[in-house]
Amino acid sequence: MTDQGLPLRAGDQGSAIRDLHRRLAAAGFPATGDPEIYDADTVAAVRAFQATRRLMEDGECGPHTWAALIEADFRLGDRMLYLRSPMTRGDDITDLQQRLGSLGFDAGYVDGIFGPDTESAVRNFQANQGLTPDGVVGPDTVMALGRLAGRRSGEKTIAEVRETERLRSQHGLQGRRIVVGETGGIAALIDTLARRLRADGAEVLTLHQPDLSAQAKTANEWDGAVYLGVTLAAEDLSVAYFQTEGFVSAGGRGLAEHASHALVGPLDAPHPAVGMRIPILRETRMPAVWCRVGEPARVVERVPALALSLRDALARWCDRPVLRAD
């Protein structure tokens, strides 16, 4: 099925729903009832799957949920893995990154995307194990990883440790490369925030783009040090940072907590910091947060106060990027 048939939601019927039920069951979330009807049991199964994948728990199968279901089909060793364009995604890559990172080979974020950092870590691992360092994960590399199962260099992956060390060595907004973005309706907020940050000496890239994958690509190419995104939302107000099973971006979590506290005042509503795996957080190769800040009328009338609060959150993060004992 292509994205053109999405989202699938309660009340839908047909072969696409049968395929959805098959994939949910394979991922460990079977739905009872008619296999060709999207009923209440299907909604519950989709919500449960979304919760484990740290996606928005809306019970609908949109492009992100469908992609996650497809990725869930793959186990390490099912296929050859190597760097390609577009980059390969899947649970097998998540497993690979976790294994490499726990053994002390820096595969970058555990994002389930086989990118340059993962290829470099594979080559280093292969050389260490006396294998041909070609960056291709085939049977020999999988077997070598299997032999080392259970061995860990620490409780965190090397990417988590290095991110924390790098962030703690930097201070202040001066010269910091900051990306701020929005998907529509609040350009004034982002532009006002950018002006304040530039006045503090930061280098700022503003992104006004509904396609969040395109935002992530641009932020990565610009080599930003941090990404802060804002969107309007009628419910589920929050500040999300990247987290998946066995991995958390310490820098992202720190910024999310600073922003969470900063948004309460101007918006008169709690914005809890939550770990998620939505694409904008997964695809940016830097600490990143995604702020769901409320309805248009409330946000637009409070642009100056919001921009100042977010600027202050970024300034506090620069001086104290990791809040917990990471």
pLDDT averaged per 10 residues, the chain (length 326): 82 95 96 92 97 95 96 96 97 95 91 96 98 98 90 69 81 93 96 98 97 96 97 93 91 96 94 96 96 91 96 95 69
CATH at 268: 3.40.630.40
CB 242 within 8 A of CB 275: yes
Q: Identify whether residues 191 and 308 lie together within a single domain.
A: yes
For residues 78 and 75, give the distance between their C-alpha atoms in angstroms, rounded to a whole number: 6
Joined together, the tokens standing for residue 233 give 């939302």
CATH at 17: 1.10.101.10
The number of CA neighbours under 13 Å toward the Cβ of 312 is 12
Give the pLDDT of residue 1.
Answer: 65
Joined together, the tokens standing for residue 34 give 């008619």
pTM (2 decimals)? 0.89
Of 156, 109, 102, 91, nearest to 125 (Cα)?
102
Mark out the alpha helices in 148-300 (DSSP H runs): 158-168, 187-199, 212-221, 250-267, 279-283, 296-300
Residue range(s) defining the domain that contains residue 28:
3-71
Q: For the chain, what is the domain count?
A: 3
Q: Identify whether residues 188 and 96 lie together within a single domain.
A: no
Of 245, 243, 215, 217, nearest to 230 (Cα)?
215
Amino acid at 311: R
Amino acid at 104: G
Strand partners, 71: none
